[in-house]
Structure 1
Amino acid sequence: MSSPTVSNHRISTMFFGGLAALAISTGAFAGPDEFGPGPLIEAYGQIAPVDADMMIPEGASFAVTFDTATRSEAETLNRTLTSAARFLNMHVANGVEAGSLRVAVVVHGGAVHDVSSATAGANADLIATLLEHNVRVIVCGQSASYYDVGRSDLLPGVEMALSAMTAHALLQQADYTLNPF
């Protein structure tokens, strides 16, 4: 007898001395306890092992841009910045050479405060760590102007662009793809 799958749960029927019992399992989903440090950036961007069907080809390289406009809550990390760390960690953990990964984060809107030395808070160490791993962090000059943040206000290594639109256009011309997450 096959076990039907309903809403990502497997339902099994078992018989005990003439009585039927239903058992529901959630399958092979990893919970939060399955996440741990990655091999490249241990402090940020936790990852979980995945039994994937879509394999990464040998010799693969990636050039990916992330985009963030939402400022993190006080004393929390910017989710997009941690996603950039997770991207690096999960690909290195799955055989991609670190040198074959080009990552950029374009920062605009209220997220400009997450890269300003006066207001970065918990993000300052994360940004320094990303920069150490050759991640480009690029600020929208228009947003920076709106929030009265100058180049000298940015954390060391953070770049200023004319605008987020300009940064994305130039990165796309350099063969970066925009990651929607």
Structure 2
Amino acid sequence: MPLNVLAINCTLKASGESSTQRMLDLVVEAFKALDINTSSVRLAELNIKPGVTSDEGDGDDWPDLRQQIIDADILILGTPIWLGQPSSVCKRALERMDAFLEETDDKGRMPSYGKVAAIAVVGNEDGAHHVSAELYQALNDVGFSIAPNAVAYWVGEAMGSTDFIDLKEVPKQVADAIAMLARNTAHLADLLKNQPYPGE
């Protein structure tokens, strides 16, 4: 069966172009080149209520997004860097996935078991390693597997004004990282789809 990728854009912009979207578009294209189905969601367009359960009540858009996450084989979280941190909407998504810890099956496996995650980070200052480390740990805590080199990032000059979306060409190092992210993540997802974790 074909693999499915869900890319979640954690830009703070509810609409319009963003550097995060440009990076995610490149990542999605790399997966499409591997004949993998892809879909994308922009969190800032949704009403993701604060909380740590899978349904925070009337008007909460998280339950539908949660189902999309569970239905996907691969989750890509794309975030800008703000104040040296992942965006607030990115952190909110992670907080909502905390509910996976209590939603195990009869073998103790979270709904995210067998799913693979990867990261895309953009910013105009340093911090990509710090942000990816935070996201790696959080996603692993809530049951996702992480392939080697499962991050693609770009950061510009500290205190500069150039954003990723402003670049006329994608740097070769970024393109190479995106290709590796797609290959390694797809490989691990395929292995886990065919041979799930055993659980208890």
What TM-score do the two structures reach when normalised by structure 2? Answer: 0.35
Larger radius of gyration: 1
Higher helix share: 2
Compute the TM-score of the two structures, normalised by the length of structure 1. Answer: 0.38
- Which structure would you say has the larger RCO, counting Cα contacts within 8 Å and 6 or more residues apart? 2
